[in-house]
Structure 1
Amino acid sequence: MAALLEAPPPFLNCNHLPFLSFKTSLGLQNFPSKIPPPTSLLTFTPTPAPCFLSTVISSSTSSLSISEEEEEEENEAPHSTAVAVTNTPDEGSQQDRRKVVQIAWEKLVRWSRSWRSKSNKTDLLERTNKVVVLGGGSFGTAMAAHVANRKSNLEVHMLLRDPSLCLSINENHCNCKYFPEHRLPDNIIATTDAKAALLDADYCLHAVPVQFSSSFLEGIAEYVDPGLPFISLSKGLELNTLRMMSQIIPKALKNPRQPFVALSGPSFALELMNKLPTAMVVASKDKKLAFAAQQLLASSHLRISTSRDVTGVEIAGALKNVLAIAAGIVEGMNLGNNSMAALVAQGCSEIRWLATKMGAKPATVTGLSGIGDIMLTCFVSLSRNRTVGVRLGSGEKLDDILSSMNQVAEGVSTAGAVIALAQKYNVKVPVLTAVARIIDNELTPNKAVLELMSLPQGYNVPETQLDIEVD
């Protein structure tokens, strides 16, 4: 029990702003240290013992706190618990626990309202007149619709290559290719003219697939303002150069100081279009720029947290696509839930090993843009990469799978780059390597399973890699 009280539970260790952030003194009523015997007094005041909820809340290191006025009100009214004559000791203890939970929830709500009243004083959205979205895929379209809904007189320009798709969006307010049943906001304007789309833009959302980004950006570089902030929605690694989007964009635009933000997290485009609750992370080395992106994108159904760990957010977003293919293969082969859990757990460790070697923070990998995105992509059928894996595990050929898809599965091209990156940083990644071998048609899914299961048996030490050599 003492160990439980020393640290917050794992689900609070996110890479985004902690939502449980209070000062140490909360005035919460604690659990009774002992349950009184039936013959005890009719009323009692529980003795102060460490409360699990208050321990979790007070352990936060965030600078956010409830207001001083609220603290004074809470300190003026300490709570005590009275047990009715008819109550048994168990009932009294249960009432006491419920009271603790009620008080903790009320404090959370009051803190949340107080913080929102302070943070909503920005006029960034009012000062934003034009946003350009590069690319017209499913996620780019969903984010364009989301931003356009934030402000009715905000111009959202989508730069596309397909004139017929532009016509469909401008006349019918519909992306017939990806969202035929959804009406897009009237303030979305589609165009093939890069100069017109980028002129006087306040922000740029980059949604072009990673493997095509360099050539695309080089073609429009002359129209890009050097101070235009790029918010990258693309996830993956460039196959030949092993570069991430934070490196691709400045290089292609020939501007090493191009403002950059990475947006990542568990988010399917369809659910964004349906305005279902979603949480994501914006990461930038520029704290003010990350905050600006947060203010631009955050809404009642999209929660945006900030981070300065660009490497962690990007590398987790790239590698999770490869792991999702592995998860799909397990599903396609009907290997069962035990295999799925073991494979994803091993894959998460491999991603953490490589990311931390590259300078990422472990908390980023275990947070929303890491584990959060991994869970969504590996376990939900809407995932393109997981779908590729399922079909591979069912015996289909990769070429047939890719030719039948109308969207890019980034994990297919990223897999080879991941292995090259792992070799560069001397990190062993058996699961991710197996996926790359299967994609290259050098290993069958059945053979890969046998090889992985035959790896040397070792201690399950999280911080230690397997002491083996992987071809």
Structure 2
Amino acid sequence: MAKKVCVLVAGSWGTALAMVLADNGHDVRLWARSEEHVQEINETRENSRFLPGVKLPDGLRATSDMQDALSEAEAVIIASPSKAMREVARALKPFWNEDMLCVHATKGMETGTLKRMSTIIAEELGCEESKIGVICGPSHAEEVARRRPTTIVVASANEGEAQRAQNLLMNAYFRVYTNRDVLGAELAGAFKNIIALGAGMSDGLEYGDNAKAALLTRGLAEITRIGTEMGANPLTFSGLAGVGDLVVTATSKHSRNWRAGYMIGQGKPLQEVLDSMGMVVEGIRTTEAAHFISQKYKVQMPIAEQLYRVLFEDLDPKTAVEALMGRGPKTEMEMISQETWEQWHT
């Protein structure tokens, strides 16, 4: 049954999700800040800045009017950059009600507060955090928009809400699983961007496949270790939100985080890299957040820590790699504590 669904905002991922919804027969409103951007989408049927060359389906209409976007909508999907999430959620509040399904698709954290996106949205809407779900998993917008086979997960503390989102989104090229571990899904989606930066940096330094494979493997261990210490289910990190998203983000030409890391590995200054990207690189902000989170929880994140030093303390990337390779002997099985493993398997 067709429903009215609102997608905030009209970046690459928001537009791709709006296309999935429109392909499923829903009446879709894609909100953009700029009236010029709205006009281009509605008149040319293209979002040339974020998804050039992709024809948008007829069931999708853009608007810069938040009330128009949300009036009579049964669901809202928020796909804004993390730094804009609080502002967007605040603008949503006057038009949101508790019967409206609300999920976000943003893979990042708020730097100053170290809060997850679902926490920020719940604070701004004045609702319980359990009302907010998250879309995550290996899903480059460029491929979703071209209807390439993609599989994601919707995480929600409320299984019924997760199934509502699943029913809205799932189709022949877009497969959707559900998960109850919102914390793990959000942490996996945010922290994997750090490892993707490192993978790009490794490629920029021409260190080869052995180095990158080790980086991804140890990076996953690092993500799992901090995630479970924060209360997430360790199994989430071996699923679509974890290893699935990590692999696609750390190995693909579509990944902004990989591209940014690659340029840094080639010796380009951070600001020059950011200026050339033209879009948000979430891994930069998340690396900063992870630096403070690891201190707060007293959990070692050696890859994230060396990347933090490269990004914010001007450490030479080669020196950072030498520091990682020169660490003392370890056992590989230090991914999570035995106590945590038993907690999640009883």
Structure 1 position 299 matched with structure 2 position 148: no
CA contact 1:227–1:259 (8 Å) conserved in 2: no
Which deviates the most, 163-172 or 257-266? 257-266
User: Alignment partner for residue 408 of structure 1, among 262, 280, 283?
Assistant: 280
- 2:277 is paired with a residue whose SS is coil
Alpha-carbon distance change, 445 to 141 in structure 1, aligned in 2, over 3 angstroms: same
Alpha-carbon distance change, 423 to 445 in structure 1, aligned in 2, over 3 angstroms: same
CA contact 1:227–1:258 (8 Å) conserved in 2: no
Which amino acid is the alignment partner of residue 160 of structure 1? A
Q: Distance in 2 between matches of 1:419 and 1:279?
A: 31
User: Alignment partner for residue 208 of structure 1, among 47, 70, 80?
Assistant: 80
Alignment partner, residue 439 of structure 1: 311
Q: Distance in 2 between matches of 1:390 and 1:441?
A: 18
Residue by residue, what CA displacement relative to the aligned partner does 1:7-35 show, whole Å, maximum 9, x if unpaired?
xxxxxxxxxxxxxxxxxxxxxxxxxxxxx
- 1:404 is paired with a residue whose SS is helix
Alignment partner, residue 131 of structure 1: 5
Q: Distance in 2 between matches of 1:464 and 1:264?
A: 23
TM-score (norm 1): 0.70
Which deviates the most, 215-224 or 364-373? 215-224
Alignment partner, residue 278 of structure 1: 150
Alignment partner, residue 372 of structure 1: 244
CA contact 2:5–2:28 (8 Å) conserved in 1: yes
Q: CA deviation at 1:338?
A: 1.6
Alpha-carbon distance change, 445 to 257 in structure 1, aligned in 2, over 3 angstroms: closer
TM-score (norm 2): 0.94
- 1:369 is paired with a residue whose SS is helix
Higher helix share: 2
User: Alignment partner for residue 145 of structure 1, among 13, 19, 28?
Assistant: 19
Q: CA deviation at 1:464?
A: 6.1
User: Alignment partner for residue 96 of structure 2, among 224, 228, 233?
Assistant: 224
CA contact 1:264–1:280 (8 Å) conserved in 2: yes
Residue by residue, what CA displacement relative to the aligned partner does 1:246-297 show, whole Å, maximum 9, x if unpaired?
1010111222367211110001111111111111000100011111111111
Alignment partner, residue 182 of structure 2: 310
The percentage of counterpart residues that share the same residue type is 35
CA RMSD of aligned residues (A): 1.4
Counterparts of residues 345-364 of structure 1 (less than 5 Å):
345-364=217-236
Q: Distance in 1 between matches of 2:317 and 2:306?
A: 8
Alpha-carbon distance change, 461 to 129 in structure 1, aligned in 2, over 3 angstroms: closer
Q: CA deviation at 1:460?
A: 2.3
Q: CA deviation at 1:133?
A: 0.4
User: Any gaps of 5 or more consecutive residues in structure 2?
Assistant: 338-346
Q: CA deviation at 1:446?
A: 1.2
Alignment partner, residue 300 of structure 2: 428
Alpha-carbon distance change, 309 to 257 in structure 1, aligned in 2, over 3 angstroms: closer
- 1:252 is paired with a residue whose SS is helix
User: Alignment partner for residue 288 of structure 1, among 160, 184, 200?
Assistant: 160
CA contact 2:6–2:69 (8 Å) conserved in 1: yes
Structure possessing the higher relative contact order (Cα contacts under 8 Å, 6 or more residues apart):
2
- 2:268 is paired with a residue whose SS is coil
**Of the two, which has the highest radius of gyration?**
1
Residue by residue, what CA displacement relative to the aligned partner does 1:386-421 show, whole Å, maximum 9, x if unpaired?
000000000001101111112111001111101211
Alignment partner, residue 390 of structure 1: 262
Which amino acid is the alignment partner of residue 447 of structure 1? T
Alignment partner, residue 209 of structure 2: 337
CA contact 1:137–1:178 (8 Å) conserved in 2: yes
Q: Distance in 2 between matches of 1:321 and 1:195?
A: 33
Q: Distance in 1 between matches of 2:297 and 2:11?
A: 33
Which amino acid is the alignment partner of residue 174 of structure 1? E
Counterparts of residues 88-107 of structure 1 (less than 5 Å):
none
- 1:217 is paired with a residue whose SS is helix
User: Alignment partner for residue 172 of structure 1, among 16, 20, 44?
Assistant: 44
Q: CA deviation at 1:205?
A: 0.8
Alignment partner, residue 320 of structure 1: 192
Which amino acid is the alignment partner of residue 244 of structure 1? R
Q: Distance in 2 between matches of 1:390 and 1:464?
A: 30
Alignment partner, residue 26 of structure 1: none
- 1:195 is paired with a residue whose SS is helix
Q: Distance in 1 between matches of 2:129 and 2:197?
A: 35
CA contact 1:237–1:418 (8 Å) conserved in 2: no
Aligned residues: 337
CA contact 1:165–1:176 (8 Å) conserved in 2: no
Alpha-carbon distance change, 283 to 258 in structure 1, aligned in 2, over 3 angstroms: closer
Q: CA deviation at 1:220?
A: 3.3
CA contact 2:224–2:335 (8 Å) conserved in 1: no
User: Any gaps of 5 or more consecutive residues in structure 1?
Assistant: 1-125, 466-471
Alignment partner, residue 245 of structure 1: 117
Q: CA deviation at 1:434?
A: 0.9
CA contact 2:119–2:129 (8 Å) conserved in 1: no
Which amino acid is the alignment partner of residue 295 of structure 1? N
CA contact 2:204–2:264 (8 Å) conserved in 1: yes
